[in-house]
Amino acid sequence: MPGTPLPVASSMSDSPSTRSTSCAVPSCSMKVMVPMSVSPGSGGDRHGPLRGPPRIDHPTRLYAMSSRFVLTRVSGMATLSRRARTAETRKATEAELLHAAVSLLEEGAAYADISIEQIVRRAGFTRPTFYTYFNDKRALVLKLGAAMEADLSDAAEPWLSFADVPLRDTLAGVLAVFTRHRASVGAITEAATYDPEVAAFWQAFHDRFRPGAEGRIAAGDPELPAAGVAARAYALVYMTERAFTEHVARPTLDEQALVDQVTWLWQAAT
């Protein structure tokens, strides 16, 4: 009858994604191919309710998707590995250039007399390589100064920040930093006399430690006016730097005696 759905009797076909249903009306030989996800007569939408998530029916398609995923992951890991190697190479090259400059300074050459050509020849590189890392010699000496400043901060800041550490041990550590960086100290103090940028760095270097010294002085002498605190801190910081700079450049004193006397001055002032 028109408008009346034909009853069907189902049987599985050879296709993995469909099944064959036969007409249940006698004398009807029609077969209907129904998707596996369809439930005939379920009352759902025209596609019928899904029995599960979509399937990847063809092994080749699954292999292709898996291959793309693996290749993407491998490519990403390779990129990260290359970046890490590049960063390590850059760091190593920069360190070799800095070491070459320091070795020339330690041999007695004045900073002004050292050429970029000498530095790259000592390091085993070319001039273009130098300019990949530094704009000029000033940039190199400022890099040396920054390394020294970081080491000095590690040595001095705990005591300046009121950590429970001996003052003498702190000052001995400060002198050890000056000794380890004696070539850099010499280059910076030389360049600061004629290069405004290096001079500005050297002043900022001292200024970095003045607030900590002021805090120690104010705590030890609460009656001292602010102007006196600032002046005393200024004198202590510059006095310590000059005494240690001169000692590592031209040692003429017993080192332990020098540390003892600088310690006495700090104790008296704070």
pLDDT at 262: 99
pLDDT at 80: 65
Q: Are 19 and 11 in contact (CB under 8 A)?
A: yes
The better pLDDT of the pair 184, 14 is held by 184
The Cα–Cα gap between 249 and 43 comes to 96
Task: Please check the confidence at residue 260 and state whether its pLDDT lies above 80.
Answer: yes
Strand 8-11 versus strand 31-35 pairing type: unpaired
Which domains are assigned to the chain?
137-269 (1.10.357.10)
Q: What is the pTM of this model?
A: 0.70
8-state DSSP, 4? P
pLDDT (tens digit per residue) in 47-106: 455 555 555 556 666 556 666 665 666 566 666 666 666 788 889 999 999 999 999 999
pLDDT at 51: 53
Task: Please check the confidence at residue 6 and state whether its pLDDT lies above 90.
Answer: no
The Cα–Cα gap between 198 and 138 comes to 7
Per-residue pLDDT band for 147 (boundaries 50, 70, 90) equals: very high
b/e burial code for range 190-226 (CB count within 10 A of at least 16 → b): bbbeebeebeebbeebeeebbebbbbbbbeeeeeeee
The lowest-confidence range among 31-45, 89-103, 186-200, 231-245 is: 31-45
pLDDT at 53: 52
| Beta sheet of 8-11, edge-to-edge order | 8-11, 18-23, 31-35
Task: Please check the confidence at residue 113 and state whether its pLDDT lies above 80.
Answer: yes
Span 191-198, average pLDDT: 98
